[in-house]
Structure 1
Amino acid sequence: MKKFLGVTGWAAALALGGTILMSNSSAQTEETYPDTLTNLRMLGDVMEHIRENYVDEVNEKDLIEAAIQGMLTSLDPHSTFLPPSDFEDMQQDTKGEFGGLGIEVTMEDGWVKVVSPIDDTPAYKAGIEAGDYITHLDGEPVQGLTLDQAVERMRGMVGEDIVLTIARKGQEPFDVTITRDTIKMRAVRYRMEDDDVGYIRISRFSEQTQPGLDKALKRLKEESEGELKGYVLDLRNNPGGLLNQAISVSDTFLERGIVVSTRGRDGRDAQDFRAGAGDDADGLPVVVLINGGSASASEIVAGALQDHGRAIIMGTKSFGKGSVQSIMPLSYGDAAIKMTTQRYYTPSGDSIQATGIEPDIIVEQARLETVESRFRTQESDLRNSLKNPDGEEEEGVNDKTTEPEEETAEDNSNEIQDYQLEQAVRMVKGVSIFQNMHEN
């Protein structure tokens, strides 16, 4: 069994005003909560005016849900109301299977912003990138929609197309057509790099993550036949997920110490989550890859391994989401609210909210390719150049002017598809050599 025991249980919700009114007299309540009661009466008055006088007949349930949504979205981008359908989708999401485009989004200045595409999903294959802004859905602007409304419009029947208008830095807005599909996520993928470095890709922190990581470590050790030099843990474009899975993954690579701390309002409900004894990676070098699409739970793992000096963090600065949301089922129906209840802090006591994790080594993503001179001119092409004393030279190249020959760019066989990964593998090997030198 995994040495870390995750946090379990759902938070209970309290209906605003209901318990207070039932347990106290009207006089006591008005004296104790005068502003709250006044504002609740104002809300009731507004609803009554809408119900009686709005030009079209309205559904009171929709009005109440809209009011709840407005309260929550006014707090921060991550607090929201979850009607029954959304609550069910969220539960499926954490289990690792759901329908849609395969894209993690947030709301920024009224626009839908891509946190990251999810590996091997329609959005990923269509070229959607972290940091893209979605400005239109099927030609309709997203401004004026809530995040949930925009997400709902992106959902649909499997096999149906949707056109996203994308605004990307440095480019003119462009349209991308994506076909909706059932998203079946593998939280963990792994393979050997150069026969001696274990590559582990975690795309999301769901209920599948820790079992997948355990399997990856076991198989990589078997495949290397004792030659394993270390690991690359790839958290790029990982939007986060379950807190307990982030703690468990960090614990996998740590021998001991605090993984993360969480604190609520005014420091209440403060908790320190610690790693148990035993490093499942056997102390081998670890390089963690992050980028601007690495958020929340990904940043917990990167921050914990960085602060404990257990891993080298490489890539570019992470997203900067340093808050924890609690899911609170409501006392009626199957609805819930998702509300920010805590901030989390790395083992050194730092909050990464809006600042992100800074890599130890900044490596921008790039492509490495062979660059040749535009013109192919050699010594033998020069007028009156010296002859080879062995008499071995191409016929007709000396004593004449050779017209420069333009070089084509068709041959790109030396291209490296993932420059950041290439550097991470090299770093693992370098650290392994350094460790072995000191051990011997």
Structure 2
Amino acid sequence: MRKTGRLRVVILRGICAICIATVLSLGLANPPAFAFTEQQKLVMEVWRIVNRAYVDETFNHQNWWFVREKALKRRLNTWEDTYQEAQAMLQKLEDPYTRFLPPEQYQSLQTNTSGELLGVGLQIAKDDNNQHLRVIAPIAGSPAERAGVSPKDEIVAINGVATQSFSLDEAAARMRGPAGTIVTLKIERGEEESFEVNLTRERINLNPVFSELRSEGNQSIGYIRLGQFNGNAVEDIRAAIATLERQDAAGYILDLRNNPGGLLQAGIEIARLWLDQGTIVYTVNRQGVLDSFEAGPGALTQDPLVLLVNGGTASASEILAGALQDNGRAQLVGETTFGKGLIQSLFDLPHGSGLAVTVAKYETPDHHDINKLGITPDRVVETAPLAREQFATSEDGQYVAAVEVLMQSLM
């Protein structure tokens, strides 16, 4: 038995020696090192994040590994080459919301969601055919709103350059610029002749909430207009409700018209200010796994509530509207909402750049997928374009209808 054991050891050692000799003969003992450049590392990181997080596991029916290998074979001599390669890689997904953000654009996006913007004040989207830019909504008080730019307008040229090939961020970058400078937009609106508007850029402070106590008939009602779900919105809405409660508001109108959305978490937290139980929203990732966000016991009021919505009500606004409608907490008045049911996350990248990736879609508490469909109000009221001073007055047909619905609830 001992001899057999020794024989085995000798044989095993012989095999190991043969293996080592073979490796040396093939030149594999010290395999060549392939060092990626900083530019290649950035492209690989973009690929890796999308590979891990993107909502569509088919990657728009692309061979995502092949996309990676092809990108890494390209010579990337400058950061500009790198940014263009990252953008070209993402374009294969045909998702305008999944995009690479060079440092300047990424900083601008972060500033936008934190409460300040330099430009003309337009929220835009891309049509499915990836041709024209579509206006979601102008920001309240912005140069675009004052010039009469409206939801659903199409921007076909910026400073004389056709927008067909622009990404969302390229278009936004062309509309931004130093305060006091002018940008010219060519607009198409329905069946009307195309026309141009000259907008003077300015610094826009995104104070998203306006509120006041109003007397309608023999009732005092709280009117709150929410323009955007940015970093200030939750606390501003909380303060507005608290003030109006102290003033004995009997009911509320929350105006979400032309609100293009913003931070998902802000929409959830604002829903919790009105709801004390029930599901706010479901999120669905690429595995089909449902996560949910629930209301808690922190609602600030149980008074009747009516929401005003229109075609410029999008994204986080639709999450809030769907939560309040499906839970029977509020009635909706106005027009069908925009229909953006996709959720993006922002990822930091090296050298100040960033990446926006569509990571999930959402469904309302009653499991309605509103992407490209929108939310239909309980009472549909079409309206003609209004001047700023007519908004939420007796000349505003949607507002008048909202008051009527609220009064019926207060009877």
Q: In 2 relative to 1, CA 367–87 (structure 1 residues): closer, same or farther, beyond 3 Å?
A: closer
1:365 corresponds to which letter in structure 2? T
* Within-5 A mapping of 1:390-405: none
* Residue-pair matches, total: 344
Which shows bigger deviation, 342-351 or 312-321? 342-351
Give 1:161 deviation, angstroms. 0.8
SS of 2:352's equivalent?
coil
Q: In 2 relative to 1, CA 346–18 (structure 1 residues): closer, same or farther, beyond 3 Å?
A: closer
Give 1:275 deviation, angstroms. 0.7
TM-score (norm 1): 0.74
2:117 paired residue among 98, 105, 116:
98
Equivalent-residue separation in structure 2 for 1:69 and 1:117 (angstroms): 27
Counterpart for residue 88 of structure 1: 107
Aligned residues of 1:367 and 1:417 also touching (Cα < 8 A): no
Aligned residues of 1:229 and 1:428 also touching (Cα < 8 A): no
1:287 paired residue among 280, 288, 306:
306
Equivalent-residue separation in structure 2 for 1:198 and 1:285 (angstroms): 10
Counterpart for residue 237 of structure 2: 213
1:131 paired residue among 131, 137, 152:
152
* Within-5 A mapping of 1:272-351: 272-281=292-301, 283-330=302-349, 332-351=350-369
TM-score (norm 2): 0.79
Equivalent-residue separation in structure 1 for 2:259 and 2:291 (angstroms): 25
- Identical-residue share of aligned pairs (%): 36
Aligned residues of 1:193 and 1:425 also touching (Cα < 8 A): no
SS of 2:319's equivalent?
helix
Aligned residues of 1:72 and 1:81 also touching (Cα < 8 A): yes
* Within-5 A mapping of 1:32-431: 39-45=67-73, 47-48=74-75, 60-75=78-93, 76-108=95-127, 109=129, 110-194=131-215, 196-223=220-247, 226=248, 228-268=249-289, 270-281=290-301, 283-330=302-349, 332-366=350-384, 416-431=394-409
Equivalent-residue separation in structure 2 for 1:200 and 1:18 (angstroms): 43
Which shows bigger deviation, 300-309 or 100-109? 100-109
Counterpart for residue 383 of structure 1: none
| 2:410 is aligned with 1:432 | yes
SS of 1:15's equivalent?
helix
SS of 1:317's equivalent?
coil
Which shows bigger deviation, 199-208 or 76-85? 76-85
Give 1:39 deviation, angstroms. 4.6
Give 1:362 deviation, angstroms. 0.4
Q: CA RMSD in A?
A: 2.2
Equivalent-residue separation in structure 1 for 2:64 and 2:101 (angstroms): 24
Equivalent-residue separation in structure 2 for 1:316 and 1:18 (angstroms): 40
Give 1:61 deviation, angstroms. 2.2
Aligned residues of 1:366 and 1:420 also touching (Cα < 8 A): no
SS of 1:65's equivalent?
helix
Aligned residues of 2:96 and 2:167 also touching (Cα < 8 A): no
Q: In 2 relative to 1, CA 138–277 (structure 1 residues): closer, same or farther, beyond 3 Å?
A: same
1:269-288 Cα shifts (integer Å, max 9, x gaps): x321111114312x111000
SS of 1:211's equivalent?
helix
Q: In 2 relative to 1, CA 139–17 (structure 1 residues): closer, same or farther, beyond 3 Å?
A: closer
Q: In 2 relative to 1, CA 18–154 (structure 1 residues): closer, same or farther, beyond 3 Å?
A: closer
Counterpart for residue 372 of structure 1: none
Give 1:192 deviation, angstroms. 2.2
Equivalent-residue separation in structure 2 for 1:17 and 1:242 (angstroms): 24
SS of 1:70's equivalent?
helix
Aligned residues of 2:46 and 2:86 also touching (Cα < 8 A): no
Equivalent-residue separation in structure 1 for 2:182 and 2:385 (angstroms): 32
1:358 corresponds to which letter in structure 2? T
1:180-217 Cα shifts (integer Å, max 9, x gaps): 00010111101123261111000000111111111111
Which shows bigger deviation, 63-72 or 256-265? 63-72
2:284 corresponds to which letter in structure 1? R
Q: In 2 relative to 1, CA 139–37 (structure 1 residues): closer, same or farther, beyond 3 Å?
A: closer
Q: In 2 relative to 1, CA 278–17 (structure 1 residues): closer, same or farther, beyond 3 Å?
A: closer
Q: In 2 relative to 1, CA 367–116 (structure 1 residues): closer, same or farther, beyond 3 Å?
A: closer
Equivalent-residue separation in structure 2 for 1:327 and 1:141 (angstroms): 28
1:296 corresponds to which letter in structure 2? S
Aligned residues of 2:242 and 2:300 also touching (Cα < 8 A): no
Aligned residues of 1:107 and 1:113 also touching (Cα < 8 A): yes
Equivalent-residue separation in structure 1 for 2:213 and 2:283 (angstroms): 36
1:294-341 Cα shifts (integer Å, max 9, x gaps): 0000000010001010000110100000010000112x2111100000
Q: In 2 relative to 1, CA 71–41 (structure 1 residues): closer, same or farther, beyond 3 Å?
A: closer
SS of 2:81's equivalent?
helix
Q: Which runs of 5 or more structure 1 residues have no equivalent in the other structure?
A: 1-12, 20-34, 52-58, 369-414, 434-440
Equivalent-residue separation in structure 1 for 2:297 and 2:253 (angstroms): 22
| 2:72 is aligned with 1:15 | no
Equivalent-residue separation in structure 2 for 1:194 and 1:423 (angstroms): 15
Aligned residues of 2:46 and 2:355 also touching (Cα < 8 A): no
Equivalent-residue separation in structure 1 for 2:352 and 2:82 (angstroms): 15
Aligned residues of 1:236 and 1:290 also touching (Cα < 8 A): yes
Give 1:417 deviation, angstroms. 2.4
Which shows bigger deviation, 312-321 or 415-424? 415-424
1:376-420 Cα shifts (integer Å, max 9, x gaps): xxxxxxxxxxxxxxxxxxxxxxxxxxxxxxxxxxxxxxx942111
Q: In 2 relative to 1, CA 295–37 (structure 1 residues): closer, same or farther, beyond 3 Å?
A: closer
Q: Which runs of 5 or more structure 2 residues have no equivalent in the other structure?
A: 1-42, 50-62, 387-392
